[in-house]
Amino acid sequence: MPISSAPPAVAAAVENPRLRMFQFNLCGVKVDGSCPSQGNYGSGTAIPAIVSSAVDFKPDVMTLNELCYPQYLELKKYLTEKGYPMFGRFVTAHGSVSGCDKGSSEVPPEDSENDTDGNPRNNYGNALFSARPLGNVDRHRLTADDQTPGEVRRMVCADTSVPVAGAASRVFKACAAHLIDKDHTKGQAARLAGIVNGYIDSGYPVVVGGDFNLVPESDGLDPLYNHHGGTGRFNEADETDYWHYLVTMCGLVFPDDNCRSGEPSTGPGWLGRKIDYLFVSGAHFTDVDADVTDTSVSDHKPYRGWATLTGGYPGGMPDPDPDPHPGYPHLPVDLPPSVSAGIDVSGAEGGTVRLTGSATDAEGTPAVSWTWRPVNGVDPGTTCAFGSPAALTTTFSCDDDGEFAVTLTADDGKNPPVSDTARVRIANVPPKLDLRGPAPWQVFRAGAEVALDAPFTDPGNDTHTCTVTWDDGSTDTYPAASGKCDKGHVFAKPGMYTMEVTVTDDDGASDKAKVMIVVYDPDAGFVTGAGAVDSPLGQGRFNLNPKYLPHDEGPPPAGGKLSFRVKGAGFQLASTAFDWLVVAPGGKTAVRGTGTVNGKPGFGFVGYATDEPDAFRLVVWDLAASPHPGEDPLFDSVRGKDYDLDLAAPAASDKGSIRVH
């Protein structure tokens, strides 16, 4: 049938309505023995489940596959009875399916509104439903003449509309299709794309729903997708969800906001395949999103989508045709509840996320319960809990990271329970290290053990590895024990050592901390020297000769003095006592003590000296402000350098000499 021509263009509408779409292959008859429904009607079958979903979700457009014509008629009746009437059209795919005749014995033999072959009781195919009237109905054959003559794949398309508050309704084209799972599926997808592109060229926004029997990354869908290798003009409702087809690396490698991906719509759990689609023309729709739910009445899963209609034209639709079967009987059944687990959410291990579910039932309030199961990246032993597992709105927490499925089940006490599942992504939280000891600048004698006190916390159910770089050329890596990275170490030689401790969890996240200590040896030697060095205040002259006297055990050395003077700046330091002296291998020395500045007491100092080459540095700070030199000391002859002896970088000295004995 030729493509319908679009109405004349008029001024754009003032608002952009949000469209709600529903796609479902309900497996309405046991053609090949695969449908889980027992019979075609009554509780536990697909028809009441669809009605319950429609009453809850209130779709603007509903596309259905594999339903019998009697089921199509029954569905229309139930929708009206339950308060959400929809306008529908049916197209036959198979005209002689004996399993379709198990419903009511009164099926009208003729129906000019719909497409049926032979005895309508034995027809099954596709249906298009809309919350508003349908017009300009087209039916297109997608299979070639030589392909499966017993099961011809057809697509039904029609004009429909969506209301806009305070303005004319917005008209668009909706289509329902089902591609056969054979070698010719790609050709059918290409023919489908040519038809809907014709609608777009005529000015229509287009929605196409159906079971395409192709996975998203298949090149058979290239004529439809408008990205990632596609040559088409459509976006797909679930393409922002990278959940299932991570093998495409979309969303991980490509810095895009969409993907040829989505949740599985058929098959066992998360190992299934996505083959059900809701395509919307990219030039007319934005903000697409979708959600796959669970069901026990079909081998496919109900698929709900949303998209904002930005294109199209305003205009009215004709009044619907009168019900062609006003006397057709229907069964007054107690429908199962409608349930939604809500949107997918994210959180962090040890914390809580909020779950907001919903459950409705025309006959009363159903009982609800939440359950969870691990899906991906969850370590053994992980535990999760709901704040209130029998409440629609509750909290969910896990003691480790990973991806989890949370399922809300509703039970009305008469029908089989119905469920819906949402995903919760729990992120890993890095451990937090608390390096309590040794203290900064703590002094140890060479050969004595330095005890590392390094507890940490982690809200996750993780294992941890500790690594300590001791700054003497050695590194230790070992498993954490009881939430601690405690370790002992012996420094054989004097020096200033900046130890770095790192704790890493089994997910690769880590925390680290550093501390510098001082190791002295009263038998290591002493230093003498005098000379001049440049400083920020000008050239200063220094004299030093700290030493451990015989029988000194330290840490303070009993002998010697240190002085420093910048004559033109009026700055003069004179030592009054030493705290410790380090004479390290390689001619490096450091001495710390207290002294006076211009005769005023209460100042600390650290002097660094080396020979070969002769070099000196002095750092002075106010002891009332800090027990150790900070980032902005009172005086530093070489500002901005580290306080560790190996990194202190003293300045070259002249007019004298330094000797490390």
Mean pLDDT over 42-47 rounds to: 56
Q: Percent of the chain having pLDDT more than 90?
A: 54
Closest CA to 557 of 530, 533, 577, 574: 577
pLDDT at 323 exceeding the cut of 70: no
Q: Is 148 left (phi over 0), alpha (psi -120 to 50) or beta?
A: left
pLDDT at 244 over 60: no
Model confidence over 329-380: pLDDT tens digits? 333 456 678 788 888 899 999 899 999 988 887 677 899 999 999 999 898 8
Average pLDDT over residues 483-498: 96
Q: pLDDT for 256-300, tens place per residue?
A: 567 888 888 887 766 678 899 999 999 999 989 888 887 777 788
User: What digits encode the pLDDT tens for the residues 384-401?
Assistant: 999 999 999 999 999 999
- Average confidence (pLDDT) over 65-69: 87
pLDDT of 301 higher than 70 = yes
- Indicate the pLDDT class of residue 39, thresholds 50, 70 and 90: very low
Which has more pLDDT, 590 or 116? Answer: 590
Mean pLDDT of the chain: 85
Q: How far apart are CA 240 and CA 259, in angstroms?
A: 6
User: For the ranges 48-52, 113-117, 201-205, 414-418, which has the lowest average pLDDT?
Assistant: 113-117
> What are the E-state strand segments in 293-439?
303-309, 313-314, 338-340, 345-348, 353-356, 358-360, 367-376, 384-386, 393-398, 402-411, 418-427, 432-433
State residue 314's pLDDT score: 58
Write out pLDDT tens, residues 165-204.
Answer: 766 678 899 999 999 866 778 889 999 999 999 999 988 9
Tens digit of each residue's pLDDT (9 = 90 or more) over 457-483: 998 888 999 999 999 999 999 999 999
Given a contact cutoff of 8 angstroms between Cβ atoms, the answer to whether 348 and 426 are in contact is yes
Range with the poorest average pLDDT among 50-64, 86-100, 377-391: 86-100
CA angle, 6 then 14 then 84, to 5°: 70
Task: Specify the pLDDT at position 59.
Answer: 93
The reported pLDDT for the residue numbered 269 is 62
Tokens of 175: 């289509």
Higher pLDDT, 314 or 196: 196
Q: What is the per-residue DSSP string for 594-640? A: EEEETTEEEEEEEEEEETTTTEEEEEEEETTT-SS--SS-SEESSTT
Q: pLDDT value at position 186?
A: 87
Q: How confident is the model at residue 141 (pLDDT cuts 50, 70, 90)?
A: confident
Cis amide prior to 555 (ω within 30 degrees): yes
Q: Residue 571: pLDDT above 80?
A: yes
Q: pLDDT grade, residue 448 (50/70/90)?
A: very high
Closest-CA residue to 18 (of 66, 49, 60): 60
108 or 398: which leads in pLDDT: 398
Q: How confident is the model at residue 313 (pLDDT cuts 50, 70, 90)?
A: low
Q: Look at the chain and count its residues.
A: 661
Contacts of 231 (CB under 8 A, 6+ apart): 222, 223
Q: Residue 324 pLDDT > 60, yes or no? A: no
Give the residue carrying structure tokens 């058929």: 266
Where is pLDDT greater, at 227 or 21?
A: 21
pLDDT band at 602 (very low <50, low <70, confident <90, very high): very high
